[in-house]
Structure formats: C-alpha cells, structure tokens
Structure 1
C-alpha cells in the first residue's frame, strides 16, 4: 500500500511538472573538506517522476502477487527485501543527473539481479546468474571509464554538459561508452544471451525485471544522454537495435518455453525503443517504454499464474484449452498480447503505431525500413502462436491434471494492472504529446502496418500447425531451426565460445611447457640431476675404504693382464 500511495502521489506531481514545465534539482551536501564539497544531486522532472510512479505501481502489484505465488517459500521476507532493494536501486538511477550516483544504482541493479536470478539454488540458476552478472560487468566497466573521462569537465553532473560540449572529443568518447553500457544492460546484440537465461529467476522477479527495471535502465540512460550523440553513433545504435529486434522476433517463433518467449518479446521491444531513440525521438522512446512496462508486467503475471496452476510446467506444448479452465487469466493474457501486437485503442497501439509511422516519415535506407516492418510482423506472429498453443485446442497436459483459478492474491494483483493496460496509452499520449506528431503518408505506407499484422497472424497460426505436425523439425530443417531458435548461437558464443578455447589453450600450455620441455630443461630436471649427483657423492663418502680396495684389485688385475 505504501508503494501504491507513492505511485499515485508521484504521478500527480509528474502531471503538474509537465503542465508547468518544471524541473527541480535538489543538492544535498554530504561532506565539505577545505574547498571541495561532496554533494548528492537529485533531478526531479516530469520524466523521472512519471517513471518512478510506474515502477512503484508495478512493484506494488508484483509484491502483492508474490504473496501467493511464493506462498510456500520459507524465506519469503528475504525475497521481498531483495525486491525492495531492487526497486530502491532503480529509483536512485532514475533521479540521478550524476554519473557517480547512477553507477551506484546501476551496480545495485546488477548485484541484486544476480541474487534474484540464483534464488532457486540449482546449477541452471547459478550458470544463468553468472552469465547475467558477467555480461553486465562489461557495461559497468564502460560506465567507470566514462566517469574517468568526465573528470575533464570538473564535475560528474553530465546533465550540464550534454548539449554544450557535444562536439568535444571527450563527450563523443563518453557517449560511445554510455551506449556500450546501455547495450549490455538492455541486452542488445552481442550481449543478448543473458536475458532469456535470467528467466531462471522466480516469475514475479521476471515481471518486474522485464517491465520497468533493469532492462529498461539502459534505455532510460540513453534517453538522458540523447542530446550528446553524434550522427555516427546514432547510425550504429540503429543498426544494432534493428538486428536485435529482428533476431529476437525470429527466435521467439521457434521457442517452446513460455517465459523465454515473453523474454524474447521484451528483447524485441527493447530493440524498438533503442531504434526510435537512435532516430532522434527520445520522448517517443520513453512513451513506448512506459506503455510496454504495463502490458509486459501483466503478461509475465499471467504466465506465472498459468505455470503455477499447471504444476510448474513451462512448455507451451503441454498447455491447451486454458480458456476453458482459466478464463480470467486467459482474457488478461489475450489483452496483453493484443496490446503488444499494437491492436487499435489498447495502450501498445498508441506508442507502436506512432513509432512505425515516424519511421516511415524518416529518411532511411531500405534495410532499416524492411527490418522494422518485418519485426512488427514477427511480433504478431509469435503472439498468435503463443495464444494458439496455450489458449485454444485440446488439453495437452497429463490426463489427471486440472487447473483453475479462484479470486486470490495473484488475480487481484493482475486486476490492478489490466485497467491501465487498456487506457494508459491514450492518457500518456495526451500528456506527453500535447501537440501531436504530424504524420503525412501515402495510403499504401499507411496500411502496410495493418497488412503485416494480418500476415503475422496467418503466419503464426500456420507455424503452430506446422510445428505440431513436426514437419518443421525434420532432419533437413533441424539445423536451421536450432540456429534461429538459439538466438543465432549467441548463448553458446557467450559461454563456451568465451571460455572453451582459453581453457583448451591453457591445458595445451600446461602439458607442453609446465609439464613438458620447460619442465625437463627447467627446475624439475635440474633438481633430479643435482639430487642424483648428491646421492653418488654420499655413496662414495660412505664406502670410501671398500671402493679404495676394489680399485686396487682392479689395478692389480689390469697389471697382470698386460
């Protein structure tokens, strides 16, 4: 209830700040030593306030939902405290106009996410946690390097220098490093493999991570830094984002794990946000970030409810006919899926349609245009495939299995979000864009989105029927489907690809040098020779009289023979 009241207060304040065009910078002096002052700076503007209100609202619903989902957990208090620490780190990151305090929130997110990913203590969770932590470490180092370079300006309050010093070599370098940091946190290519691996965390954590915290931290940082990006950096970011978007959309169509499909969907939407940000519209990227947070949080909650009621199975091939057994969850699930696809007048439509139309208005090459539109079609494709497998058809789980829902904590937590999923898109579009974008497109370009959405629906259902008959996974297609389904072999490259050859080289070096020629001509053989000589000397000194007589005898025999 505390988080909920915070959320409502902050949202009211954000509307006030937006209408009055206010920004408040709060400086808290922590320590003054001679002429140096250590000051903690907080920036409150409409953007940080509305984002904080969303984070508080979603986390309050997730904590309420967790009471039942984690009901049998012995250490439920530890779990709730970890979530509160997670939210606290995100808050620090949101309100910081200073790179040092951003790093505190950034690293806090990384450390607490590691603790949450390894929460179910098994080998799979440990591997996923280590992959998550090490992938994010690359971004942390980039942020530390940008802090070092920012020292040239005399302060770490980047907000003062972005527009003013955008052509400086230092600021260009800092921008590249910040983009690298954001790419690791928001799981863009080539750092994408940790995002589906992080699904080892409990479902309420996934709901929080994939909606308003952690993965959105990278996008939010880029929104703050967008004023300083040179054109080359924007083109690079657009290329990487479009590839990520296409790769994850394609991969989700070949995945059978319910949570991983939704995780890949998050990756696709992050690519969309990064892409539109690279095109220069940061307000629109922020708008899509907020609407996406709502329906993605609810989508994960629905998935958690389905998994919970089906004996912890996550394979969508085991589901089916769920709309008969779990009607309310199925309704929520469908509404979120439609919002994700951009169905008119749900929250996702307002941001996604605007993003695609703005892209059509921009001067870009055919590659970016095609990849963006194909990715929109693929989103619809995997969403309908997911609905086809899980909600329609026959009951595919064990014969004695039964699943149902009561008016419990989980449903109440989900019901708190569904209202916002439906109406919040229009409300935010009125608030953020009081002067609407003017979109002027020819008829064909205007309806191409609709054509691709319909094509995605048919393709999704066709793919489902095809893979149910297993013709898609015949011997000829298995390599292609495994390549596409494994995110273009990125998880293998991120794990075995990084450590296999160094370990093999280490073994070869050890055998050849440490235990081979180096050992023979080095310390071991030298020690062996010296100890052998020492033993010989000891033998001679112990038996000198015997040896003397023996040598005398040999000398006499030698004399007689000659």
Structure 2
C-alpha cells in the first residue's frame, strides 16, 4: 500500500475518534490534563503535558480530516514527483507540529510545535527549488522567527509564576504587570503567524509551495496557529490590548480585500482571502467572543481547503498557468471542479444556508449589536463587501468570461483521485455550518437590530457582487487617466507596498548605509591616515635614503667631516 493511503486511513480514523471525543467532552463540560513522564533523574522529572478539552479535540479532528483529504489528493497531484514519499513525510511532520501546538497547555511545549511549523513550512515552501521559492521561503521563515522570539520572551517573563502551564494563571494574574507584558508578546507572536499588518507580506509569498501544502497551510495549520493561541489566551487580555488587536485586524481585513480585488494570480487571490478571514476572526476575538471566533475558524478551514484543492486541479489542467484571465468558461471543460469552486466561493461570501453563512452572518450581526467606533464598523462592512467582490470576480473569470488559453489544450476532468479528495470535503462544506452551530451554541445568541442595520450585510453583499462583475468586465485603454488608475491599482494590489517594505525595505537601507560607510571610512579617512599614508611616507623616506646609498665616496667623506665637526663642538 502506498504511503499516501496509509496516512489517509490513519488520519481519517483519528479524526473520527477525536470528533466524537470532542462532542462528549463538550456535552459534559469536561477537561483532561495528562502529563507524560519523559525522563526521571534523581529528584528531577521531565514531563510533557497534554490538554484535552472540547476545543482542542474538535480542532484536532478538523485538522486531521483536512490533512487526510489533502494527502489523498496529493497522490495524484504530485504523481510526477520522484520524491513523493519525502513530500508526504514533510506534510505529516507539519501536521504533527500542529497537533503538538493544539494539545499543549504549556508555553514551552507550544514553542516546540510553533517552531516545528515554522521550520517545516520553510522546507515545504522551497520544495520547488528555484530562486522565487527560495526568496519566499526566506521571507516566510524570517517573518515567523519574530513570533518565535516573542514566545521565548514570554517564556522568560512567565518564570515569575513558577510554572509554564499558562492555563493555571489566565484568570488569577489578569491585572498584574507581568501578565500585561506576556499578553502583548503573545499578541505580536500571533500577528506574525497569522500574517496581520505589518507581517502580511509572507502569506501570498508562501504560494510558491505546492498547492496541497497551500491547502493545508491556509485552512487549518500554520496561519490558524496564531488565532488558536489568542483564543487560548483570550482571558488574559486587557481592554487596551484588545482595542489594539481590533484596529490591526480590521485594517488587515480591509487591506487584503483590496489586494485580492486587483490580483490576477489564482492562488494569491485565495491566499489574500485567507488573510481577510483571519482578520475577521481576530476582530470578533478582540471583542471578547472567543467561541464565535473558534466557530468561524473551524468552518473556514473546510471551505478554504476545498477552494485551494479546486484551484490546484484547474492549474494542473491548464498546464501550470495561474493567471485567471486565461481561465474563462472553465465550467464547460471542468464542470465538477468549477461547481465545487463556486460552492466554496458562495460559502465564503455567506450565501444563506451554506456553512459560511452561519458563522459570517452571526459575526456581522454581533458586530452591529456591539458598541464601537463608526470607523471600525464601516471598515468591517466594506471588507465584507470586498470579500463578495473578489469572490464574484473569480466566479466570473472561471464561468462566464471567454476562454483565452491556447487553442490546442487538454482540458479534461480525468483526475479521479483528486476529484474524490475534493468530493470528500464538499458535503462537509455544505452541511457543517448548521451542524456545528447546533452542537457548539447550546444557548442561542439574542440579536435585536433595526431593519436598516439588519439589511446592512445584504446591501454590502449586493454592492460587492456588482462591483466584482464590473471590475471583471473592465478593459483598460492606455491614456493618462488609465495610467493613473494603473498606479492606484498597483499600490492597492501590492498590499499597500508591504512586500516591498518587508524585503527591500529591510535589506536595502542597511546595505546602502554600509556601502556609504565603506566609501567614507574604509576607502576614505581610514585609508588616508592609515595604510595609504604609511605607504606614502615610507616611499618618500626610502627615496631620501636611496640618495645616500648610491655609493658616492665624496658623500661618505662629507658625512665623516660633519660627524667630526659635531664631535668637536660637543667636546
């Protein structure tokens, strides 16, 4: 049996068991902390703690289920790869790192999983060995390294408490000075892993990885690790830190939505969509609703995994091209894949009674019920409209637009294993929203809004859909006005120049300053008063002494006479 099948069946079995255990623990409001004794030396014990409660078990089941489908899908997607087994083992290491992070109640064991995610993600991003992948991998690894340092600093600050089991201290030390510093460090660490402003540029760059890896990373593992950590630490945050988090995450939502509207790379559009949804989770989390954020985290993981798998199948079929402008009328050649893609798109928009509707609509109405500034409120609803805008734009290019690829093409839906991997997710995508809502929210939310505020979501969705279709039809003719439009779209589409700031902005100025110092000091004053000046002095002295050493006897007689005169004068 192939290695893909082995891990598929193993993860599927574990996923079913953990899901049932999670439901059982939730119904009984039951938590379990176990400590595995790794090493005993004299009176010292090294133990590995494990926290099993409804949250960790449910998240674990979703991670394992999506991983099993992605591994099954990879068997055909990566079929031409000579090192398929190595790829699958890297994916399994990635999943194991995430599992270690999910079940850890201890900040040190969380760091092991956290760092494991960062290192294995680097190996997966540079899997296709070319210069673009190396650059993307380095940007990903170094951005995540900032979060690792923040976790290390929080570990150092937690030494004040006598133990690193953070679950013991969340309520007890809430108003202390140390807990404020720890909460700030945890927020910054989560911002790097979940790619919030100003660490957003690594997330689209990580699209250099193979599509199955993108599907796993952007649904339930790497980028959700930061949100999951914040959900775990949510009782520790003060009002100021939550306000800071609310502002950053709302701006991230808006920025990524604008970026996706002006993007033409299929995978990058979906990556920016992930960034927008991460901002949405952090917005609702910063308002104190950690359970609602967790609910959206689970639902989003399912349809985002399937969205990437559909994108991978389309990219596979069109010979590796990722530009959506070539992909018109794909519904004729790839009907099943396009159906799955558009179901996920509509779920992302929050179409009623698909899974995304149950989380997104509840979040939007909860936001309307809350007391906040009009700035955050408008940014939130504009971001919701932009989500619909880029989703409808993607649907337009895949279904309605003209097919603009090569005349000679081989577009057939023959990939049975990939279709079965996607088919395993589609029913869960459709029905999981209502099912999980009935399971997780035993007492319903009370929402009481005026008719205008109730219709705000619908209004922005309709406006976003119309804008998306119109932007798709837009043809640019080159004149002064359109060039200005191109400059604006380039700025908005490049995530407000953030990739430039994160790469050249970090490296160019120090290199330029170093070069200036080298010219001024090493090749300038140091050289003039150092080696070059010494060389000049030695040359002048040696030329003067050379006159004496030309072996003229009259010079030696003259020197002897001068010496005798000096001698007589002294005497």
Instruction: Tell me which interval the TM-score lies in, with the shorter structure as reference length.
Output: over 0.9
Secondary structure of the corresponding residue to residue 189 of structure 1: coil
Q: Which of these residues, 469, 480, 494, is aligned with residue 502 of structure 2?
A: 494
Q: Deviations over 1:256-293 (max 9, x none)?
A: 00000000000000000000000000000000000000
Q: Which runs of 5+ in 1 are unaligned?
A: 557-562
Matched, 1:508 2:516: yes
Q: Which of these residues, 80, 86, 90, is aligned with residue 78 of structure 1?
A: 86
Q: Deviations over 1:53-102 (max 9, x none)?
A: 11111011001101111110011111001000000000000000101110
Verify the 8 A CA contact 1:467 1:473 in the aligned structure 2: no
Q: Which of these residues, 530, 537, 540, is aligned with residue 529 of structure 1?
A: 537
Q: Which of these residues, 230, 233, 246, is aligned with residue 238 of structure 1?
A: 246
Matched, 1:226 2:226: no
Verify the 8 A CA contact 2:76 2:415 in the aligned structure 1: no
Q: Distance in 2 between matches of 1:548 and 1:37?
A: 92
Q: Distance in 1 between matches of 2:535 and 2:520?
A: 19
Q: Which of these residues, 392, 397, 419, is aligned with residue 389 of structure 1?
A: 397
Q: Distance in 2 between matches of 1:472 and 1:421?
A: 46
Q: Deviations over 1:296-318 (max 9, x none)?
A: 00000000000000000000001
Verify the 8 A CA contact 2:476 2:482 in the aligned structure 1: no
Q: Which of these residues, 153, 157, 162, is aligned with residue 154 of structure 1?
A: 162
Secondary structure of the corresponding residue to residue 400 of structure 2: coil
Q: Which of these residues, 142, 152, 162, is aligned with residue 144 of structure 1?
A: 152
Quote the offset at 1:214 in angstroms: 0.3
Q: Which of these residues, 314, 319, 342, is aligned with residue 322 of structure 2?
A: 314
Matched, 1:483 2:488: no
Q: Distance in 2 between matches of 1:468 and 1:294?
A: 37
Quote the offset at 1:31 in angstroms: 2.8
Quote the offset at 1:36 in angstroms: 3.8
Matched, 1:2 2:7: no
Q: Which residue of structure 2 lines up, in the alignment, with residue 251 of structure 1? A: 259
CA change 1:513–1:249 in 2 (3 A) is: same
Q: Which of these residues, 287, 294, 298, is aligned with residue 279 of structure 1?
A: 287
Tell me the TM-score normalized by structure 1: 0.95
What are the residue-to-residue correspondences of 1:174-213 with 2, within 5 Å? 174-213=182-221
Quote the offset at 1:128 in angstroms: 0.5
Range 128-137 or range 405-414, more displaced: 405-414
Q: Distance in 1 between matches of 2:353 and 2:130?
A: 43
Q: Which of these residues, 403, 412, 427, is aligned with residue 420 of structure 2?
A: 412
Aligned alpha-carbon RMSD (Å): 1.9
Secondary structure of the corresponding residue to residue 324 of structure 1: coil
Quote the offset at 1:471 in angstroms: 8.5
Matched, 1:288 2:296: yes
Matched, 1:59 2:64: no
Secondary structure of the corresponding residue to residue 482 of structure 2: coil
Q: Which residue of structure 1 lines up, in the alignment, with residue 568 of structure 2? A: none
Q: Deviations over 1:457-504 (max 9, x none)?
A: 111101111147789982121211100000000000000111111100
Range 411-420 or range 397-406, more displaced: 397-406
Q: Distance in 2 between matches of 1:530 and 1:25?
A: 78
CA change 1:168–1:547 in 2 (3 A) is: farther
Q: Which of these residues, 424, 436, 459, is aligned with residue 451 of structure 1?
A: 459
Q: Which residue of structure 2 lines up, in the alignment, with residue 350 of structure 1? A: 358
Report the number of matched residues: 553
Quote the offset at 1:247 in angstroms: 0.4
Quote the offset at 1:392 in angstroms: 1.5
Q: Which runs of 5+ in 2 are unaligned?
A: 1-8, 562-571
Q: Which residue of structure 1 lines up, in the alignment, with residue 337 of structure 2? A: 329
Q: Distance in 2 between matches of 1:247 and 1:512?
A: 41
Verify the 8 A CA contact 1:192 1:490 in the aligned structure 2: yes
Matched, 1:112 2:120: yes
